[in-house]
Structure 1
Amino acid sequence: MPQLRQLAAHMEQLAPLAYQESYDNAGLLVGDPATEITGVLVTLDATEAVIDEAIVNGCNVVVAHHPIVFKGLKKFNGRTYVERAIIKAIKHDVALYAAHTNLDNVVGGVNFKIAEKLGLQNVQILAPKTQVLTKLVTFAPVADTQRILDALHAAGAGQIGKYDNCSFRVEGTGAYQPGLDANPVLGERGKYHQEAEHRIEVILPTHLQHHLLSVLQQVHPYEEVAYYLSPLANADQEVGSGAVGDLPTPLDEKAWLSYLRERMGLNLIRYTHVPGQTISRIAVCGGVGSFLLPDAIRAGADVFVTADYKYHEFFDAEDQISICDIGHYESEVFTKELIQQHLAKKFATFAVILSETNTNPIRYFY
């Protein structure tokens, strides 16, 4: 049977923990990584009721979008809903895993699921992150270049946007003199040597640099591998907040609101009105998204779909864009489908089921 560590590794291929925000607490929250999985329940929130549902369904793992633990816990006496959920999970050997802002911040993550539900086309990250890429430069004999590149690409280097296996090379002359206690592959001890080499350059996600260096050391023919790493300020188009895309057909305001309500299964939409606006370009952010409003405006969006807007924040639309607040739970509930589909493709030896518990703490009176 697959173990919990394998599930965590698969989730982190989609949403690396390095991409979570500094305040977040994603990853394995409760459970032994060596635990064999009997079943997985996927939810938005790992509440007591959800853990009860997992127990009834024979699932010993709950994968949630929201971490049940955000801050440090000093006592476990059942005083709060968080403590009670953790106590119940531990008592019944139910592991808890969360993929939160790291799942928000990747292509194919939460915001891309919203875009899919809305039928958006040409979807891109709304606010790409910087300071998450590194350039690796190394030098190798010409005959070994492609073998080294193949290994680096397989380990995660060389992706630029929609292009894989990207690299740069230029031929030159490497020179060195092996010491008397060296074991050179090319050249002789104590003798100056020149060798036709390639300077090889690849871009890689910064969080993979230690792994990539380990791979480089393994596949490089030289006893001493020359390399250097350079942090990049480039924006990574595959990592960042929000998403933006285009409707298949432009809509007027009334038709758009009906479309949004139907596609997202909404009971309520709080929105700002922009007179006479034809709506075609949509920016989205699951959960709290007001911090992305300037990015949505710069991206030319007609509408910004998000949640948790405060009264005075709606004024920030300045008649430049329509803000549509659809509710936090409502904006992220389809994340359950995203996680379930991702896990079900990988693991066939246990059930991955969607929780039927509605964890939305907000109710509406009409």
Structure 2
Amino acid sequence: MKRFIGFIKKEFYHIFRDRRSLFILFGMPIAQILLFGFAITNEINNVDIAILDSSKDAVTEEIIHKISASKYFSIKQFIEKESDIEGIFKQGKVKAILNFEKDFSKNLVKDHKATIQIITDATDPNTANTIANFVNAILQKYQKSLNENLVVAYQIVPESRMVYNPELKSVYMFVPGVMTIILMLVSAMMTSISITREKEMGTMEILLVSPLKPIQVIVGKVFPYIFLSIINAVVIVVLSIFIFKMPVQGSLFLLALESILFIVSALALGILISTVSATQQTAMMISLMGLMLPVILLSGFIFPISSMPVPLQLISNIIPAKWFIIIIKGIMLKGVGLEFIWKETLILLGMTVFFIALSVRKYKIRLA
């Protein structure tokens, strides 16, 4: 046991001496969580728009004032004719143009109907759709203020209530996904590189013929990264709570246990990658390219799995990150307990056992 503890200490010393490893372990996670939290968002603020007001009456001026007063839009310019619309979009200066029809106020009084054309730049469909929805919401609110004294015989008023994320903050979606990506990539990549480095330098065989058993060597190699990955998880959760105001509705203890389970599964996957990699470069490429794209695309982090083709939905079931994102969102946002996420936990546990068993078998074949 003393030899085993000494071996683990040696691995810690080796990690702390390697500045590149420390940067990957601690610098990259912090940079990614801050980048995703601040820079990547599906919300709109101060979007530049243009106005084509062919009517120029009191009503259109009031509507334009209400739009410019909102935090969502900034009126970049006023244009005089419809032929200018295409040129402005080609310049890329604005994301939308509001086109008020001629005699807007007269038509509103006479026919009880007037038209505003919302023209958006749909090169980014999601942003274009969001802009149109926000403009419609402002116009509906203004229309309601005009008709507040009218009595309608029958009226259906839909009322929407957003559960778990009433303010529709995009950070609530990105933090669980970024935490999953960081723990998966850092854990798998660092483990695969660490063990592959020993194989590449020819020192792994020396370790295996030492008094330590092969399984002790493997566990000793992995244990420091379990500890360091837990620190990463704590840092991510602390940043998300105090900087991005991410709520943790559920048990922190359950969140910690589930995170450790996912970390162990990622480390086991890293060991498995090291068994098929002869060099550190190969291990890093498999860890980064082979894991990053599936984790981002097939985990439900950005794109809903239910909208994917059936074959991709089936493939997503073998991605551990998919199940961890469901677990972490359930705990942090919904406040659920183990009784609601036991199935996902068992699937993740089964994957972890499978990766470990396959890794041990591969190591016996190649190194024992």
Larger Cα-atom Rg: 2
Q: TM-score range by the shorter chain?
A: under 0.3
Q: Structure 1 length normalisation: TM-score?
A: 0.27
Q: Structure 2 length normalisation: TM-score?
A: 0.27
